[in-house]
Structure 1
Amino acid sequence: MDPIKLTLRGSPRAIGIEHGRSLRNQIRDQISIYESMFQTTSKLSWPDVREVSKDFQPFLKKLVPHIYEEMEGIAEGAELDILDIVALNCRSEIALGKFSDGCTALCWRKSNNARVLSQNWDWTARVSKNLAMISIEQTGKPTIYMVTEAGIVGKIGFNSAGVGTCLNAIRAKPMISSKVPIHVALRLCLESTSVDNAVKTLEYLGGVASAQHILISDGTTALGLELSPVGNKYIAEDKDGIIGHTNHFIENRYVEEPPWLSGSPIRLKRVGELARELIADGVSGDAITPSILRDRIFSDTFNSPQAICCSEDPSRDISTRSSTLFNVVMNLEPENLGAEVIFGRPGSGLEGSVLRMPWIAS
């Protein structure tokens, strides 16, 4: 079954209310799922999680008042407390690295200097029914097209200015609640008009609350943003115009990062090898299509279950088993701007049909 497609427009409050009202059941189910995960990984009940989220609340109000107003609207539309929505949007920070979501991201410069930005997003299959394709139209800002979890204001996608974002979770300390949570940082990137504008916005606001990687690109520039509360490193494209990233920092040494996903370095090496196999086969320019990336890179099961196309590891607790829930490939050429999304594990034979962003609103 295809995910919900939701078109939101208007003021921050109006956008939030429609989000909350339209995805009310999914947001409540997300809370139930994360309550179980927090209980398993951190011994925190949902009331405990809401209490922790109070640490973030005043800084969200101060740093990103328009996004906080949208969160208030989501809470109102879903008939929930604002702390429920703050907690969902700060779940990566509150978990303190206890959630083990993987992901493999790749940006590739085409011969005409445009970029293709792509990723598999790996997470617990229980949230798959609560994913939504959302477009957001705001006065004076680019229109956003993204795939996100119900109740969360920013995630993976692109905007009408040709800026795209992918996400890799990183498990590292410290976490500083006075800074911008990663899902809010993703939203800020998706409100930006260029990579440079996005980086300047995050730096102006004082950086992010937890260690994470955002792979960001526009029509002329791509950067791997290895972000942390205590310092950032920015990774440029290699000689082939490629940036690959998984779930460990490549250059950022400002944080305390214990090894936690043994498959992450293997996936990073593998995505580079597969991309260079395509280059050796003469794949470049317009031949770098979503279908060839899905078939030749994102369907790869080498080192399964911790593969680029991730499958559940039965040795892990059911609440934290990850698998690939969707693949997205974004073409950031200004004259051919758009993305293809498939839900499920690419190449498995069980994945859904190809969906496109933007889509025609019904």
Structure 2
Amino acid sequence: MSARARPGDPHKIVPRIHLEGSPYEIGLKHGRELKLQISSQLDIYRDIFWDYCKFSWEYVRTVAEEFKPTIARLAPDLFEEIRGIADGVGDSSIDLLDILALNARSEIALGQWDDGCTSVAWNLGDRQIIAQNWDWRSTVGANLALAHICQRGKPDIWMVIEPGIVGKIGFNSSSVGVCLNAIRARPISTSLIPIHLLLRLALECTSVEEAIGKIESVGGAASAQHILIADKSGGRGLELSPRGGVYLDEDPNGIVLHTNHFLENKYMDEAPPLSGSPIRLDRARSLCAQLLAEFPSRELQRKGLSPSSIRDRIFADTYNSPQAICCSPDLARGPQGDVETLFNIVMVFEEGESPYAEVLFGKPDGSSNMSAILALPWTR
């Protein structure tokens, strides 16, 4: 089903899908309901892989095939879901390897892609906020969707998804939420789980500690990535790589901030980060410091730091544009600069309350492509 954004939305209709049943049934419905978007995503990623990596789609599929036994062994339910997506699309030109390629697209790129993304977790005592701007290729924005996943014996999950991919940014009914910052680094390992599947596995857990244990139990991440994770008790930054992970704690103010370079993890070969990444991190620290000066106590923070204030005071910021927290395409870089903020999400976990989030598609700086604010969970 699809749902129209709130009145006044200048942007678009955002697909919302409700998925439940066995892993294969969840994937089958995903593939059927988003088949047009999945086909479009495959076209987009064929172009991206060739334009930025000079990888043919035939080569991409060979790398995806290397992940096939790993995913089937370490995450069999998600493998069945991916198989269901491929069958659900119902197109003879699209098969399991194509859908596996989407789910491992960060790893197949071998750390060659630049993107943005700024994420923040803020512990306010009895309230936890976890939020990010997700920056990626402009063409992907038209295909984004919202998903609600119900699985027996696991928390309900609400995510913003790239169609065809089983895990992304969102939260669950146990008040566990995840954000993602891509890191341009090597190596990768096809014997480990791709990052988007790790995001989903984390969202099937009931606490941060359980999610960390799950990630460790499957051996960690197949590529260098940062997962910002939080529950009602606080947030952690997981700087992951195939060679090992480093976990970042909250600072004295209960804050964890991250952009697109590792802060402490040295277990990889990191390429020079996108020049805007350190600048965005410093800018986010400065903006948080301004809010701390305005709301110095936890009591004032709980009253003053709402999803709207976090979105407006941090994530709408355009300092150092185009490589700003609120990112715009960098036309001077040619096609590789075609990256912008595609959505903002602010998740809130509170003692004694059900978790919720606000999602805004487009750039949250008041620009013409900004959608109305959508609420998660939604009423079916």
Band the TM-score falls in, shorter-chain normalisation: over 0.9
What stretches of structure 1 move > 6 A for 4+ residues in a row? none
Deviates more, 1:29-38 or 1:320-329: 320-329
Shift of 1:319: 5.8
Q: Is 1:111–1:284's contact at 8 Å kept on the other side of the alignment?
A: no
Is 1:302 matched up with 2:319? yes
Give 1:83's aligned amino acid. Answer: L
Q: Is 2:185–2:269's contact at 8 Å kept on the other side of the alignment?
A: yes
Is 1:355 matched up with 2:368? no
Q: Is 1:99–1:320's contact at 8 Å kept on the other side of the alignment?
A: no
Give 2:103's aligned amino acid. Answer: N
State percent identity of aligned pairs: 51
Rate the CA distance shift 1:145–1:139 in 2: closer, same or farther, 3 A: same
* Residue aligning to 1:56: 67
Q: Is 2:176–2:203's contact at 8 Å kept on the other side of the alignment?
A: yes
* Residue aligning to 1:255: 268
Give deviations 1:275-328, integer Å, cap 9, x for gaps: 110110125013211111111110100011110000000122326511000000
SS state at 1:55 partner? helix
Distance 1:223 1:173 in 2: 23
SS state at 1:3 partner? strand
SS state at 1:317 partner? helix
* Residue aligning to 2:121: 107
SS state at 1:347 partner? coil
Q: Is 2:185–2:224's contact at 8 Å kept on the other side of the alignment?
A: yes
SS state at 2:252 partner? coil
Distance 1:275 1:55 in 2: 43
Is 1:192 matched up with 2:216? no
Distance 1:344 1:49 in 2: 29
Give 2:111's aligned amino acid. Answer: G
* Residue aligning to 2:364: 346
Shift of 1:52: 1.4
1:285 to 302, 310, 313: 302
TM-score, normalised by the number of residues in structure 2: 0.93
Give deviations 1:163-205, integer Å, cap 9, x for gaps: 0000000011110110010000000011111000000011011
SS state at 2:331 partner? coil
Shift of 1:111: 3.4
* Residue aligning to 2:49: 38
Distance 1:130 1:219 in 2: 31
* Residue aligning to 2:193: 180
Distance 1:184 1:336 in 2: 25
Q: CA RMSD in A?
A: 1.0
* Residue aligning to 2:3: none
Q: Is 2:122–2:234's contact at 8 Å kept on the other side of the alignment?
A: no
Distance 1:69 1:141 in 2: 16
Deviates more, 1:352-361 or 1:329-338: 329-338
TM-score, normalised by the number of residues in structure 1: 0.98
* Residue aligning to 2:346: 329
Distance 2:226 2:337 in 1: 20
Give deviations 1:112-166, integer Å, cap 9, x for gaps: 2x31000000001101111010000000000000001000000100000000000
Q: Is 1:110–1:286's contact at 8 Å kept on the other side of the alignment?
A: no
Q: Is 2:19–2:150's contact at 8 Å kept on the other side of the alignment?
A: yes
Shift of 1:46: 1.4
Distance 2:305 2:76 in 1: 40
Shift of 1:336: 4.1
* Residue aligning to 1:266: 279
Distance 2:314 2:28 in 1: 39
1:46-85 counterparts in 2 under 5 A? 46-79=57-90, 80-85=94-99
Shift of 1:41: 1.3
